[in-house]
Amino acid sequence: LPGFTRSVYRRDHAVITPESHVFSPLPD
């Protein structure tokens, strides 16, 4: 489940590091 995993990973990473967008530029 790439989509689900990416969604969860992005959420968890966003909470820890707000710079997740820079580290992981995913198409929101």
pLDDT for position 13: 54
pLDDT for position 4: 57
Alpha-carbon distance of 23 to 1, in angstroms, equals 21
pLDDT for position 9: 58
Alpha-carbon distance of 14 to 24, in angstroms, equals 10
| Confidence (pTM) | 0.17
Q: What is the pLDDT along the chain (28 residues), one digit of tens a residue?
A: 556 555 665 655 555 555 555 555 555 5
pLDDT for position 21: 53
